[in-house]
Structure 1
Amino acid sequence: MCIMEKIQDNNRQNTAAVHYRAAYRKEKRTNRRLVLALIIITCILAFLLIKISASSAEAERLGSQAQKYYTSIVVEPGDSLWSIAEKYRTEQYSSIYDYMQEIMDINHLHSENLTSGNTICIPYYK
């Protein structure tokens, strides 16, 4: 084999190696993009599943939620806003103070003092 043939053979091998490396990099880049796309799709599906689950739980909670009603009561001697709240408060109120505040707001009361014989409106759930 002469020197020219060796040079041409060497050039062909170098060209093949360059093409092989380029194809390898392209395949590697394609694989990375595919993995990234799968990760993104998985995250989106997980988010949607959580969202749907939370929505159905919220709908179930709202469907079984009691309705709010109002009634009026006459304040008896010895009654206080606290004693009335203890008697009529339901589990929908997080605290007795929240319930007392709602009674005060509904009746436009500026203090917790009540006068016997007066009628006040109170909320309740059924």
Structure 2
Amino acid sequence: MRKRAKKKHHRQFIFFSASGLIAVIVCIMLNVFPVSADSTHSQTGSVYYTSIEIQPGDTLWNIAEETMTSEYSSVPEYVKVLKEINSLDSDQLEAGQNLIIAYN
């Protein structure tokens, strides 16, 4: 008698586990769980990233002025973002270094 009860509970466990897994897969396929890499830009459109090679004489501020998009309200704000994306502790750049910049 106990073996039947254990089998029944085991089957129920498998049924509900499989049902939950199927539900999660369906939600993922239907994009029910939206994910955004940068929530501050999700309302204004897509943001893309590219890498540029630093040339002699380039500064973080000059690059920010040249590449800043309308998503940012000021050059200092964009410089801060560039430093965050590139894990920079200072504004100093070296020729040959690669820098990731955002664009839309």
What's the secondary structure of 1:92's corresponding residue?
Answer: coil
Does residue 105 of the first structure (1) align with residue 46 of the second (2)?
no
Within 1, Cα distance between the matches of 2:72 and 2:93?
A: 21
Point out which structure has higher relative CO (alpha carbons under 8 A, 6+ apart): 2
Give the match for residue 55 of structure 1: none
Gaps of 5+ in 1: 1-61
Number of aligned residue pairs: give it. 64
- TM-score of the aligned structures, taking structure 2 as reference length: 0.57
Poorly superposed stretches of 4+, deviation over 3 Å:
none
- TM-score of the aligned structures, taking structure 1 as reference length: 0.47
One-letter code aligned to 2:100: C
What is the percent sequence identity of the aligned residues? Answer: 41
Gaps of 5+ in 2: 1-40
Kindly provide the CA deviation profile for residues 2-61 of structure 1, in whole angstroms up to 9, marking residues without a partner as x.
xxxxxxxxxxxxxxxxxxxxxxxxxxxxxxxxxxxxxxxxxxxxxxxxxxxxxxxxxxxx
Determine which structure has more spread, i.e. the larger CA radius of gyration: 1
